[in-house]
Chains A and B, each alone.
Chain A
Amino acid sequence: MSETPPLIELRKVAKEYPGAPAPLCVLKDLDFHLEAGTCIAVVGPSGCGKSTLLNLMGALDRPTSGDIFFAGRNMAVLSENELARIRNRDIGFVFQLHHLLPQYTALENVLIPVLASHAAADAHGRAVALLARMGLADKADARPGQLSGGERQRVAVARALINRPRLLLADEPTGSLNEAAAQQLADLLCELQREEGMAVVIVTHAPAIAARFGKIFELHGGRLVPQD
């Protein structure tokens, strides 16, 4: 019987950005893996490479060196289209800014990822259910401009979950919210993680929020260091 590979695994991953007088090395020799259904928080000071790490894990960027495996598949050898399919079906993103499309309603924004591929038959129902789960059942037809900051971010979470991803990546999702709204969103993410059974990686500055996501790693010197 073969051993189930980690959901995502980073091996000797390095990421450099061009700079003067020498390239800026953000991540170096980073080894990390995450099992399915697990939940971690990544903390660290500004500019330490948290978002870079998330982008690499989410197939939005490629490492300078090293390999990243998603469910045992080396993402370095995958084409852009295959990566897009992984992003669409297996990974959900929640960004610090909601990035809702202003011309569409909340419901349609949730359904946007579905339309990247052939729409699942139950997509509409799931989108409605997700919005209801987010407490936004009555805001389904509202445009983003008609929603509060917290509401927009919840719609963004629903959008991230619409395709039942195996991995949810949240990049400081509460960063632009007030404390109450941030707490509310953190609660929601925790509950959804349990309900949907997906793995979650959340990047945050807020220790209180990080503490609610199980294991905490600090990005330090380009490497992930577990915190006790």
Chain B
Amino acid sequence: MTMLRMITRSIVHYRRMHLGLVCGAALACAILAGALVVGDSVDRTLRDIALARLGRVEHAMEWRNRYFSQTLAERLQREEPHITASAVLALRGVAALPPEAAGARRQRNRAQVLGVDPGFWRFAPDVPPRVPGIQEAAINHTTAEVLGIAPGDDLILRLEKYHWMPLDAPMSQRTDQYTVVLRVTVISVLSDAQLGRFSLAANQAPPCNVFVDRTWLQEAMELDALANLLIAGSAASDAPETVRNPHLFSQALKRVWNLEDIGIHFKTYESGLVQIASSRIYLDEEIVRAARQLPAAIPTLTYLVNGIKKGDRSTPYSFVTAGPVPLDTPEGTAVINQWLAETLEAGPGDQLTVDYWHLLPSNVFVEKTHAFTVHRVLSMEDMAIERDLAPLFPGLSDVDTCRDWDIGMPLDEERLTDVANEAYWNAYGQTPKLMTTYETGRALWGTRFGSVTGLRFPSEAGDAATLRARLRAEVKSEALGLVFSPVRAQALAGVDKAMNFGGLFLGLSFFLIASSLILLGLLFVYGLQQRAAEMGLLKALGYPLARIRALFLLEALPTALLGLIPGVLAGVTYAHLLLLGLAWRWPAALAGTPVTLHVRPATLLLGGTAAFICVFAVVLAAAWRGTRHTARTLISMDFSALDAGVSPRRRAGLLIAATTALALALLVAAAGFVQGDNVLGLFFVVGAFFLLSGLGYYAAFLGYLARRKSFKRPRRWKLILTNLARRRGRSLGIAATSAAGCFLVLSVSAMRENLALHADRRDSGTGGFAVYAETALPVTRDNDRLFQSPDFSVVPLRVRDGDDAGCLNLNRAQAPRIIGVDPVAMAALRAFCPPEEADAFWALLEANPSADRVPAVVGDIDTALWGLGMKTGPITGDELAYAGESGREFVLKLVGRLPLRLSVFQGAILVSEQAFTRMFPSESGYRAFLVDAPMVQARALADRLNRDHERLGMDAAPTLERLESFYAVERAYLALFLVLGGMGLALGAGGAAVVVLRNLFERRAETALLHAVGYERNLLRRLHFVENSLLVGIGILLGAAAAAAAIFPLVIASRTIVDFSTLALLLIALFAAQVTLVAAAVTGALPRAPAAALRTE
């Protein structure tokens, strides 16, 4: 006889007990592994989506609102043979059905129109059989589904017209067409493998893509040979790993780019003077910086002023230039031309005043005046070259008369007709009337769009080729934004840093796991109790306690391990069912993303190991407890002795504790009512105290029952009640477990916030605004009637597209969306925070800004906590690095977050409008709007806005609906928690049934006696059924009562929306499950002839 033989014999002999252990281990393992598999499946799906949206693209250089030469891609490929590159013209716009299309009018406001060349498709794992040609488009499934179109159908694309100067710039062209409308015929619907999902945004939601021929799109948009997205990678699937090295890509790009790629051109004049200008009018800061490193560089800035006056003589609308003044011109003085000198009768030493528009960050023009002393008068011949050197402003330089001027700054129609000025325009065109030093001019007329319109080099500085080479060498390409981002690595990082769904589903399955372990523990403990005599005998025979415990552990663990095999398989099934449930009932939980089952052996191993550890802990605890009795007690196997009850003193203590808990519950509830707001958590505490109080009273009552005197009128129900006290600890344990589970599941699930309550208040998540609207195309104050309606007022917001950091994006946002707000306007409205805190809060956006450090607040608490996972605070707040335009890096300091769990700004970061325009000057106009109107009109107003501003790609919705769409995620998880928690409780009922069986087993002699003295079997069954139903029912009752205490005040105050029918169904199902199991246990365990047990004596 060896230990091994002892163990194997015991396993075989007590196979029923071990079968229970196998089942328990399998159950725990299934739930643990299943939850982890769900997490894996979500992760894998997100990863698949991330890879599908990029195809073979490894790196990308994305320029917004500016363009580079498409030849850059070709040079890059020539430079580095391993690199495959393609230049894409990526535009945002509106995709719509043509007007003649039958059915409802449908359009997609945020469509991505991609002008691609044949080389683009090399990045697709599966090249489409035919690529779009002229006036043809390939669309993806989302576009096809949203618009209900198929190959052969026509599609209208409305795209924002590109303006060489940002629309907000003072001298940008305004009243020209804002959009370009194109009509295309759909030729194919692309699959994910055909790059139909192509997008750089870290988001699992499929974009609405329309692929067209690049050349055709460039012509239509008047962007010849230009692109704004450069993608690169190793199109060959067998490319060496070194190709993925980001350094290789960046170095190749550095080598091949040239200044013409970014619209910088050199012009040599007869005098040998070379001027560097930009097709975007204003030169990049980096170009200016680099150029000024070269000797003799003269920066110039040309501006249009409203008027130049001397005394009562004046001339309207005149070009002025800063920079190209004679070297002896003192700072602050001006050089004027002959025409102006004559017109104003001004000469050297005279004072002139110049009126000009100054553009505020909010795009409001403020007229300012500056006085100059005339230093010198230059002849018109001397000034002749300036006409050629002045930048060509579209809408200004290319019209015949002043009356045709078409620019952003306000112009007085009457003054535009000034005859003398018109004559000047006809004779001298853009020749500046006044020139001053560069520094003086920059201070007056520099804007956020730039401060240099030209760089001049005298002939002695070198010819254009020399200057081009020297400038090229001086410029840091990355400072111009000529830098690749490792988009593939970023996409995978976004997935890796996404929410831990395995952990989340483990949390949601908490009750299931706990219940399975409790069940397992009960099965094992009772199994051991049956073998108490064996333990006692081993003790009596002198076995050390450690060895006895080891024997039982070694006996249990192999069977537990055996249980892990079916457990792992069941876990996969559980995960599959969960995913089906998510897709069918709670799609919002994963933001509508269809998740496919993905099973990783490592995860199953992890789940199995975790389950084994849990089972081991439970078995160890059970073996520990089971063997702690004396040998005599164990041999006599008498575990059924009545609990002694509690002493009156202890009972009094219990009553005091229970009453204290009740008082605390009432106190906290009162405090909650007084506080009035943000009390969801508070009432949860109330419920918890209520629960403790209930359990305290129950414990005291059981203690009383165990020590009470005889009933004067004994009745069956009184005796049943007394039976509850027979095993006081067990009764209390069952009640506490099911009460706590019931309370937690019910109260958490019922605490669904009523977003409609206080939605009209400024300090709510809606900000008190009725409608939130976004447009696909930017809107400027002066070009849209959106701002002029008498029915509502609008707070416009600037938008820099980025990753959604809200709950609808399952990926971790890499570069969250930025919204520019006017903090002063927000503070004045007392919006999105308590009125008394509004000034201080919104002032955070303006506190201590520096050139590169921008204070920012997160859109709401959920975004900060879950979307970004970052700290916020004026001092302790985290920082986010952002690439601004022209490659300049900004750091957003997260100084705060809106003090709201949910707001219409979820997923975004707010900065002041001033900071926004400084960071992204070319982001013209406004693309988001808070519309102030009576809340009851929200729906009608949103519909009206969508209808009236369809051409802008308007997406307006009541703010409350927007909040509801965000909250749908939380609501889905609450519902899921309810169901999984309910399943856990139902499984807990299984544990209770085991207790019932144990009770019946322990009391078989009692049952036999009752049978012997004449209790009919049916009566015995009824008595046991009622008694045990009461045992489990009290827990449910206490839990439900505590949950009601927690929920009721909130329901009264309409702060939560309680789905009473679901809760009632859950309670009924729970109680039914418990009672059914009790009935089954009683029926099954009650012997046909109970009294026969007495015969065995």
Q: Which A residues contact B (CB, under 8 angstroms)?
A: 51-52, 55, 58, 60-61, 80-81, 84-89, 93, 95-97, 99, 101-108, 111-117, 119, 124, 140-141, 143, 145, 159-160, 163
Contacts and interface: CB of A to CB of B under 8 A. Distances in A.
Contact of B715 (A60, A88, A115): A115
B641 A116 contact: no
Contacts of A89: 1014
A116 B1010 contact: yes
Interface residues of B, number: 37
B714 A61 contact: no
B1000 to A, nearest CB: 14
Contacts of A101: 1006, 1009
Given A99-B1094, A103-B722, A103-B723, A116 B1014 contact: yes
B311 to A, nearest CB: 114
B1097 A95 contact: yes
Contacts of B642: 102-103, 143, 145
B1013 A107 contact: no
Interface string B1057-1097: 00000000000000000000000000000000101101101
Residue from the set A55, A58, A84, A124 with the largest chain B CB neighbour count within 10 Å: A84
Interface stretch (B208-216, B260-268, B776-784, B1016-1024): B1016-1024
A124 B712 contact: yes
Contacts of A140: 710
A95 B1017 contact: no
A156 to B, nearest CB: 9
B773 to A, nearest CB: 71
A108 B711 contact: yes
Contacts of A107: 710, 714
Given A51-B1095, A55-B1095, A103-B722, A117 B710 contact: no
22 contacts: A60-B1094, A61-B1089, A80-B1016, A84-B1011, A84-B1015, A85-B1014, A95-B1009, A105-B709, A106-B710, A108-B719, A108-B722, A111-B714, A112-B1009, A113-B1013, A115-B714, A115-B719, A116-B1010, A116-B1015, A116-B1016, A141-B709, A145-B642, A163-B1014
B714 A116 contact: no
B1095 A115 contact: no
Closest A-B pairs by Cβ, 3 of them: A88-B1014, A102-B642, A113-B1013
Interface in B695-731: 706, 709-716, 719, 722-723, 725-726
B1097 A60 contact: no
Interface in B981-1019: 1005-1006, 1008-1019
A51 B723 CA distance: 30
B1012 A93 contact: yes
A84 B642 CA distance: 28
B1013 A88 contact: yes
Contacts of A55: 1094-1095
Interface string B1010-1049: 1111111111000000000000000000000000000000
Residue from the set B710, B1089, B1095 with the largest chain A CB neighbour count within 10 Å: B710
A145 B709 contact: no
A52 B1094 CA distance: 11
A102 B1003 CA distance: 10
Contacts of B1012: 58, 60, 87, 93, 95
A97 B722 CA distance: 23
Contact of B1013 (A80, A112, A143): A112
B1015 A61 contact: no
Given A60-B1091, A103-B642, A115-B719, 17 more contacts: A61-B1092, A81-B1016, A85-B1016, A87-B1013, A93-B1013, A95-B1009, A102-B726, A103-B723, A107-B710, A114-B714, A115-B714, A116-B1013, A124-B713, A124-B714, A140-B710, A160-B1013, A163-B1014
Nearest to A163: B1014
Contact of B1097 (A96, A103, A111): A96
Contacts of A117: 1014
B153 to A, nearest CB: 80
A149 to B, nearest CB: 15
A143 B1092 CA distance: 26
B923 to A, nearest CB: 79
Residue from the set B641, B716, B1094, B1097 with the largest chain A CB neighbour count within 10 Å: B1094
A115 B716 contact: yes
A105 B1005 CA distance: 17
A103 B725 contact: yes
Nearest to A98: B1009
Nearest to B716: A115
B1015 A88 contact: yes
Residue from the set B642, B1009, B1091, B1095 with the largest chain A CB neighbour count within 10 Å: B1009
A95 B1094 contact: yes
Contacts of B1010: 112, 116
A101 B1091 CA distance: 15
A116 B1011 CA distance: 9
Interface in B964-981: none
A125 to B, nearest CB: 11
B533 to A, nearest CB: 18
A102 B641 contact: yes
B428 to A, nearest CB: 114
A177 to B, nearest CB: 15
Residue from the set B709, B714, B1010, B1097 with the largest chain A CB neighbour count within 10 Å: B714
Nearest to B644: A145
Contacts of A124: 712-714
A151 B712 CA distance: 22
A40 B1097 CA distance: 22
Given A99-B1009, A107-B710, A143-B642, A60 B1092 contact: yes
B124 to A, nearest CB: 77
A140 B712 CA distance: 11
Contacts of B1019: 116
A104 B719 contact: yes
Contacts of A111: 714
A97 B723 CA distance: 21
B726 A103 contact: yes
A55 B1095 CA distance: 7
A119 B723 CA distance: 20
Contacts of B641: 102, 145
Contacts of B723: 103
Contact of B710 (A61, A105, A145): A105
Contacts of A61: 1089, 1092, 1095
A28 B1014 CA distance: 28
Contacts of B710: 105-108, 140-141
A192 to B, nearest CB: 17
Nearest to B1009: A99
A15 to B, nearest CB: 11
A172 to B, nearest CB: 10
